[in-house]
Structure 1
Amino acid sequence: MESRNCTEEELQLIEFLAQKGNYCLENNWKSKIMACPLTDEVIGSIGLVDNNNDIYEAKGNHLIADCQFLDTDGVPVVVYLLVDSEGKLDELDLWKCDYSAINRIPPMSNMTDVYTL
């Protein structure tokens, strides 16, 4: 898929997770990053590339931070911010627990920690 500008909600989510994971974002990082949708959904996982490269290549990555929220239908959505082996932003992964389409990304005040059983 073709790269596009990140939505304001995606940028807020990246910033929220970077702060949560003590990941230092570069100055004017928002103007340097593009989104490469990884799904056909309107809201879903995106590969993150700099604005000089419009092709996302999946690489080995690791977790910076995660959170979750309830979608408008009450189904949990889990979000992961991943960086590549060089420590660069790599992916914003959104996963709705029942695999249905994600309806919206809410305000950051609605985010909670991910709990595992």
Structure 2
Amino acid sequence: METRKIRDNEKALITFLLESLNLDLADYPINEDVFEYEGGKMGSISLNNNPDSYVGDLIQVEYIDTDGIPVVITLTEDDKGQLLDLDFWKNDMSKLLKYPSVDEVVILNGEE
């Protein structure tokens, strides 16, 4: 698997999501190296490269891309309580046009 360095906007979004859950950032370190799913088409990244270790979603937010298509973004954790994926799912499966900033996402699972 080819990895790359995490981008500042990805790290900012993950930090925002963890803070929205009142989680201690020290308990959920963000890996510097990530793997892009689908070649980066939708924006999904793996934070620990072991998709088989998924145990659950931490938080889901929604973002409306510049073409008006909703995107659901989910931060997941693994069986060791560490960050697993930042998963993007665009309703029509098309390419993500603009990466969301933290003020463009709406929390879906009642953590507001």
TM-score bracket relative to the smaller structure: 0.7 to 0.9
Q: Deviations over 1:53-89 (max 9, x none)?
A: xxx1212221111111111101111101111111111
Letter paired with 2:18: A
Alignment length (residue pairs): 107
The two structures have a TM-score, normalised by structure 2, of 0.84
Hey, which of these two has a bigger chunk of helix by percent? 2
Which of 75, 80, 99 is the equivalent residue of 1:86? 80
2:33 is aligned with 1:34: yes
2:109 is aligned with 1:112: no
Q: Structure 1: which 4+ aligned runs deviate by more than 6 Å?
A: none
Show structure 2 runs of 5+ residues with no match. none
The two structures have a TM-score, normalised by structure 1, of 0.80
CA shift, 1:26, in A, is 1.8
CA shift, 1:21, in A, is 2.1
What is the distance in 2 between the residues matched to 1:26 and 1:42? 30
C-alpha contact 1:43 1:104 (8 A) present in aligned 2: no
Show structure 1 runs of 5+ residues with no match. 50-55
C-alpha contact 1:61 1:90 (8 A) present in aligned 2: no
